[in-house]
Structure 1
Amino acid sequence: MAGLRMDFGLLLEPLGFMKVLEWIFSIFVFATCGGFQGETTLLVSCKGVVNKTVTAAFAYPFRLNTVVFSAPDPKRCGGTWTDTYLVGNFSSSAQFFVTLAVLVFLYCIAALVVYIGYKHVYQQSSKLPLTDLAITVVTAFLWLVSTFTWAKALADIKMSTGASIIQGIESCKVPATTCIFASVSSMKVLNVSVVFGLLNMLLWGGNVWFVYKDTNLHTQSVSLSPGTYTREI
Structure 2
Amino acid sequence: MQMSTRILKEPLGFIRILEFPMVLLAFATTAGYSATLDVKYKCTSIENVFSFSWFYPFDLTNTAISNDLCKQEGGSISIFGEGAVSQSQFFVCTGVLSFLYIIGVLYVYLFQLEKYESDHRWPLLASSPAVLQDFVVTAVLAVFWFIASCAWASGVNVIKGLTDFNLIKNMFMNSVNPCKDKESCHFTPHWNYAALNVSLIAGFACFFLFASNLWFIWKETEWFKSRQTPNVATGQTAGGYPAAADVLPR
TM-score of the superposed pair, with normalisation by structure 1 = 0.81
Residue 111 of structure 2: aligned partner: 117
Match of 2:64, SS state, is: coil
**% identical equivalent positions:** 26
Residue 100 of structure 1: aligned partner: 94
Q: Encode CA deviations 1:42-86: one digit per residue, 9 max, x unaligned.
A: 6778x859997644300111001112347764413xx46635442
Cα distance change of structure 1 residues 70 and 37 upon mapping to structure 2, 3 Å threshold: farther
Residue 154 of structure 1: aligned partner: 156
In 1: Cα distance, 2:86 partner to 2:45 partner: 38
In 1: Cα distance, 2:113 partner to 2:174 partner: 65
RMSD: 3.1
Q: 1:88 and 2:82 equivalent?
A: yes
Residue 20 of structure 1: aligned partner: 17
Cα distance change of structure 1 residues 158 and 69 upon mapping to structure 2, 3 Å threshold: farther
Cα distance change of structure 1 residues 130 and 110 upon mapping to structure 2, 3 Å threshold: same
Q: Encode CA deviations 1:200-231: one digit per residue, 9 max, x unaligned.
A: 111111111111111111112323541479xx
Gaps of 5+ in 2: 121-128, 231-237, 244-250
TM-score of the superposed pair, with normalisation by structure 2 = 0.76
Aligned 1:206-225 pairs, distance under 5 A: 206-224=212-230, 225=238
Q: Which residue identity lines up with residue 132 of structure 1 in the other structure? A: D
In 1: Cα distance, 2:22 partner to 2:178 partner: 52
The worse-fitting range, judged by mean Cα deviation, of 179-188 and 116-125 is 179-188
Once the 2 structures are TM-superposed, how far is the Cα of residue 108 of structure 1 from its aligned partner?
0.4
Aligned length: 223
Q: Which residue identity lines up with residue 152 of structure 1 in the other structure? A: S
| Greater Rg by CA | 2
The worse-fitting range, judged by mean Cα deviation, of 198-207 and 6-15 is 6-15
Once the 2 structures are TM-superposed, how far is the Cα of residue 41 of structure 1 from its aligned partner?
5.1
